[in-house]
Chains A and B, each alone.
Chain A
Amino acid sequence: MIYSSELIKGTLKTIVLKQLENNKRMYGYEITQRVKVLTSDRIQITEGALYPTLHALEAEGLVTTETEYIGKRIRKYYTLSPDGKTRIDEKISELADFMNTMKFLLDIKPQPL
């Protein structure tokens, strides 16, 4: 089952920040592929959601960027900023709390992945 983009949208910032924490520096395509592999294709981040989110994270100062030339084109690498490192735990615990609330609200029994 592929999750709908509406469901993913609210958690995208946290997902991206967590990937950057685990992998130091990543570029956009790499993030989408990594998430796709980790979730066995269940979460497919769309380009239309990923890049606006990366721009917003950069504007908020949670990620820093560096560019590298790959032949004629430029690749933008994203890295977690010191501010991003401190915010990530906060974001994850907020999401975990939200998930617990949803489990309670929707009366969801734990299921194996």
Chain B
Amino acid sequence: MYCLNDKQIDFILGDISARGIGMVSLQQNLLDHICCIIEQDLDEDGDFEHFYQQTVSRFYKSELREIEVEAINLLTHKNYYAMKKVMLGSGAVSSFLLTVGLILKFGHWPGAAVCLVLGIFILSFVFLPLVFTLKIKEQKSNREKAVVAIGALAASLICLWILFKIMHWPFANVMSLIAIGIMIFVFLPVYLFTGIRNPETKTNTIVSSILIIAGCGLVLTLVRSPAGTREQYAMNSGNFFRNEMILKSERNQGSPLQNATEKNIFSLCESIKRFLVFKETGSNEISADFESKGQLLGDSSAAMHFSSSTEMEKEIAELCDNIEVYNKGIKSGQQPISLARTILKAPEKKVTDALNDFVQIQMIVLQNQQKPIASR
């Protein structure tokens, strides 16, 4: 039986490490294993170095490092099958939810939003990241891994953009620019030039690239251009400005409001309109030269602005109460203020529609006030 000294043990450890074994626990295992073999099988006066080289060469096919590579592979692929199952499951669930969500949406039945949001959420945060993780393991070169990573990122961003868009959440447009930008200017060139070099994947790569360009092109045709958006916003401001002018002239023509409820309704509407205009444009009102001043009314959801101010929520509740009192006290020939389909009953409306509703409420109050005079 051979007796190893400390110097020889240090030599073996150094050699194992130099041969590419970096995991400390694996180094310890191999060191002990080699020491055991030498102690058991080498004669007391045997040649240590020669025997060691002979022993260690039995451990591998081409290099010692393959033991560590195999260990890492086993550790990382431990969850491979579970991940694959979850990927397929999440893909099926998200497709099902999207299909049901779309059927509900087109049938105008309740539950559509929940299904669509959940479907897109699972698609972007479970299915696509898992596809990316599993695909990246199959790719050999760093360039191919990068293609998969960029593709998954762009696809997730496109899904989230559509989700943010339909839910009227902020940053949807920024997300669309980033997603389409990454897809066309980063993913496509890398994907095309990687795939086109390989004769096996050449045709598939070209076809897929054309489909990506066509897909992005079709999506972009549905999106309003920045100039178109500005035009639309300017039209919104113009509409609101004219409504306000008509309201002002109506008010100037009639007698001043006498009733406290009428006054409350009027002032509450004014206050809420001012709040919405300020939130949307940064100014308290829309003036005649709104375009040059940049007072443009966008597509934001009114509910989003209201949720940021508890005071506004209170004013809206107060307005509803006042309108209820007002409707109870109207005389014959006057029309009640119907709240059905107005911002007060359907808070998901856009700011421009909400402003329109408040102007209409004020106009009804003014017209009712003039009716007794006219009928006299």
Q: A-side interface residues toward B, CB under 8 Å?
A: 27-29, 46-49, 51-56, 59-60, 67, 70-76
Contact = CB atoms under 8 A, between A and B. Distances in A.
A48 B67 contact: yes
30 contacts: A27-B32, A28-B29, A28-B33, A29-B33, A29-B36, A46-B58, A46-B59, A47-B33, A48-B59, A48-B61, A49-B70, A51-B29, A51-B71, A52-B70, A52-B74, A53-B74, A54-B29, A55-B23, A55-B74, A60-B78, A67-B28, A70-B32, A73-B9, A73-B28, A73-B31, A73-B32, A74-B28, A74-B31, A75-B28, A76-B28
A75 B60 CA distance: 21
B33 A55 contact: no
Interface in B1-23: 4, 6, 9-10, 13, 23
A73 B75 contact: no
B223 interface: no
Of the candidates B9, B25, B66, the one having the most CB atoms from chain A within 10 angstroms of its own CB is B25
Nearest to A55: B71
Contacts of A71: 4, 6, 9
A55 B59 contact: no
B31 A76 contact: no
Of the candidates B29, B61, B67, B71, the one having the most CB atoms from chain A within 10 angstroms of its own CB is B29
Given A51-B29, A51-B30, A55-B26, A29 B75 contact: no
Nearest to B12: A73
Given A29-B33, A48-B59, A70-B32, A76 B9 contact: no
Nearest to B8: A72
A94 B283 CA distance: 74
Given A53-B74, A56-B71, A73-B9, A47 B30 contact: yes
Contacts, number: 73
- Which A-B residue pairs are the 4 nearest by beta carbons? A52-B71, A29-B36, A56-B74, A52-B70
Contacts of B13: 73
What's the interface size class on B, roughly?
20 to 34
B166 interface: no
A75 B187 CA distance: 50
A74 to B, nearest CB: 5
B288 interface: no
Contacts of A73: 9, 13, 28, 31-32, 35
A99 B189 CA distance: 52
B245 interface: no
B56 to A, nearest CB: 9
Contact of B60 (A48, A67, A70, A76): A48
Interface of B: 4, 6, 9-10, 13, 23, 25-26, 28-33, 35-37, 58-61, 66-67, 70-71, 73-75, 78
A52 B78 CA distance: 12
B13 to A, nearest CB: 8
A48 B26 CA distance: 11
B75 A75 contact: no
Contacts of B74: 52-53, 55-56, 59
A55 B9 contact: no
Contacts of A76: 25, 28-29, 32
A29 B30 CA distance: 9
Contacts of B71: 51-52, 55-56
A98 to B, nearest CB: 17
A74 B32 contact: yes
Nearest to A54: B29
B32 A72 contact: no
A73 B78 CA distance: 30
Contacts of B31: 73-74
Contacts of A60: 78
Of the candidates A27, A29, A53, the one having the most CB atoms from chain B within 10 angstroms of its own CB is A29
B52 to A, nearest CB: 14
Given A56-B74, A76-B32, 10 more contacts: A27-B32, A29-B33, A48-B70, A51-B29, A51-B33, A55-B26, A55-B75, A56-B78, A71-B6, A76-B29
A58 B117 CA distance: 40
